[in-house]
Amino acid sequence: MFQFQAIPNLFTHIFLVIKRKTLVDEYGSPIACDLNIGKTQATCTFEIPRFSYLTESERSQLISVPIRICGDLFCYNKSDQININLQYREENPETLIETSEILLSNRVLFRDPLAFSTYHNSFISYTEYLYDQAIAITSVDGRGRIIIPLYKRFDLTWGPIHVDEETGTIFITYTSGDSSSLIKIVPDLDTPKNSTRTSYDLSTLDISSTAIIDDSFFASGGLNGIHLSETDIDDGTRIKVNTTTLGESLNITDNSKKLYAVLVDGNGSSTQKIVRYNNNIRDSYAKSISYSLEQPGYIYYETPCNEILSEGDYIFDSCGNRFLSSDNAATDLTIRGNIPKPPWYSDDLEHYELRKLVGVKKLESSGYLYAERSSFSCYPECSNYVTIANEQHSKFKEYWVPNKISRLVGAYQDNNGNIWISGRTKNNTFIAIKVQSPTL
């Protein structure tokens, strides 16, 4: 970041053009600067290319950068030529301090399904037990681990795990070929083998996300186009189905008994929408907001923002865009900016440097905790971050995740106020780590 004094009212805009080190002296693309209200100071942010490739000695030396200051985009107005000297100071975030570790599974499934239940004060995850697929309820307060066997079949694609926090009932899904099922598990914590399992047929295949509102279980997915279904969790009755070939993906979440979804239009579009359904998934959206992605260049590698999270009074997409969830129709789904990022972060970074929001937790002490990782298929060398911020995002601090986690999956707060993070290790096991609470 570069700041300098400007002559009041002389320019309505100021641009920087930086000389690039090439065989021929030439200047790069103009960089627009921000003027303060009195137009007495300009703040310009520019990127140092290939900074990570500089040697330690190169970083410690003063570097002279020729800069042309202009009053218009193409420098038709008279400009000043100045040289500024730069010296880099490397600043690394602190690393979260680990206090304990729990093994959740010795085998990781592709989609990293995991849930934390406040009802059980435990992690709920898939695992293997005596050649069975199983559900593990792993306590965080020393009560140990409970295993509930499922099936001996290993050709099933398991979906998200959802817990009804009012009853402790666990809901899981799986797809096998051209059929899928919802399994309702009522755990018997004293005698796990006596836990009840009830299976219902589902119409949605390749399930990507689920939600529960009152007595309805919602599932989204689909192998061809988008499929959204609603099923009664008491008797398995299929209530409603909404199938369309429009769009690329749809993922759902619930917030305050309202169903929200993120819909990606597909066809290489750089826009998507957040929608809210009004009790009937067949009806038109009760409300929706379309917005342009800031990373149109890399949606061709993958769909970066097509997952949705809910926490507190907000809905988030997986790029960190934040939307208000409100009972007031006028303010519901109004955008509230992006989650905090460090000053160097920009949306035109290389694709492997961009971030994906994988977890959000509203803290008991006020504020929010955000868990992010490299947004592309980075395993086993993901960059993993945790950021703590006040609700207004006027203050925030970023932390590294302990390096024993190679692919961060989420962040949680247990019933005792402890902070946990979870993810894969390089050995392809699944762990949860309790850390000292980060501070601003």
Residue 67 lies in a domain: yes
Least confident interval from 22-31, 51-60, 318-327? 22-31
pLDDT band for 354, please (50, 70, 90 cuts): confident
> Distance (Å, rounded) from C-alpha 44 to C-alpha 58?
23
Is residue 303 over pLDDT 60?
Answer: no
Given a contact cutoff of 8 angstroms between Cβ atoms, the answer to whether 391 and 364 are in contact is: no
228 strand-pairing partners? 220, 242
Element (H, E) at 321: strand 321-324
Nearest CA among 23, 22, 1, 5 for reference residue 14: 5
Residue 44 lies in a domain: yes
Residue 24 lies in a domain: yes
Element (H, E) at 126: strand 122-129
Q: Which residues form the domain of 71?
A: 2-86
The mean pLDDT of 245-263, rounded to a whole number, is 84
- Count how many Cα atoms sit within 13 Å of the Cα of residue 168 in the half-sphere of its side chain: 11
Which contacts (CB < 8 Å, 24+ apart) does range 230-234 have?
230/281, 231/182, 231/200, 231/202, 233/164, 233/169, 233/171, 233/182, 233/184
pLDDT band for 72, please (50, 70, 90 cuts): low
Residue 111 lies in a domain: no
- pLDDT per position as a tens digit, 387-435: 999 999 999 999 999 999 999 999 999 999 999 999 999 888 899 999 9
Is residue 161 over pLDDT 70?
Answer: yes
Q: What is the largest CA-CA distance in the chain?
A: 83
Residue 72 lies in a domain: yes
Is residue 307 over pLDDT 50?
Answer: yes
Is residue 57 over pLDDT 80?
Answer: no
Residue 37 lies in a domain: yes
The mean pLDDT of 81-88, rounded to a whole number, is 72
Is residue 151 over pLDDT 60?
Answer: yes
**Looking at residue 231, what is its pLDDT?**
94
**Looking at residue 60, what is its pLDDT?**
74
- pLDDT per position as a tens digit, 162-220: 999 999 999 999 888 888 999 999 999 999 989 999 999 998 888 889 999 999 999 99
What the block records as the tokens of 258 is: 């309202």
Least confident interval from 108-122, 153-167, 198-212, 290-304? 290-304
Residue 30 lies in a domain: yes
Phi-psi region of 215 (alpha: psi -120 to 50; beta: other; left: phi over 0): alpha
The mean pLDDT of 101-117, rounded to a whole number, is 82
Is residue 295 over pLDDT 60?
Answer: no
> How do strand 368-374 and strand 355-362 relate by DSSP bridges?
antiparallel
**Looking at residue 266, what is its pLDDT?**
62
Per the structure, the count of domains in the chain is 1
Percent over 90 (pLDDT), the chain: 44
Q: How far is CA 390 from CA 96, 324, 333, 344, 396, in A?
A: 18, 16, 20, 20, 7
pLDDT band for 291, please (50, 70, 90 cuts): confident
Hey, CA dihedral for 382, 388, 393, 396, is it positive or negative? negative
The residue to which tokens 């949606």 are assigned: 299
**Looking at residue 120, what is its pLDDT?**
97
**Looking at residue 145, what is its pLDDT?**
92
**Looking at residue 348, what is its pLDDT?**
59
Least confident interval from 33-37, 143-147, 292-296? 292-296
Nearest CA among 359, 401, 360, 357 for reference residue 381: 401
**Looking at residue 359, what is its pLDDT?**
96
CATH number, residue 76: 2.60.40
Q: Across the chain, what does the average pLDDT equal?
A: 81
Residue 17 lies in a domain: yes
Is residue 363 over pLDDT 90?
Answer: yes
- DSSP E strands: which ranges in 267-354? 271-277, 287-292, 308-311, 314-317, 321-324, 335-338
Alpha helices in 114-204 (DSSP H): none
Angle, CA of 211, 418 and 393, to the nearest 5°:
70
The secondary structure of residue 285, as a DSSP letter, is P
Considering only residues 290 and 304, tell me which one the structure prediction assigns the higher pLDDT.
Answer: 290
**Looking at residue 107, what is its pLDDT?**
73
> Distance (Å, rounded) from C-alpha 135 to C-alpha 125?
6
pLDDT band for 308, please (50, 70, 90 cuts): very high
Considering only residues 188 and 306, tell me which one the structure prediction assigns the higher pLDDT.
Answer: 188
What the block records as the tokens of 323 is: 């939307």
Considering only residues 401 and 68, tell me which one the structure prediction assigns the higher pLDDT.
Answer: 401
Phi-psi region of 9 (alpha: psi -120 to 50; beta: other; left: phi over 0): left
**Looking at residue 75, what is its pLDDT?**
66
**Looking at residue 385, what is its pLDDT?**
94
Q: What is the pTM of this model?
A: 0.81
**Looking at residue 301, what is its pLDDT?**
47
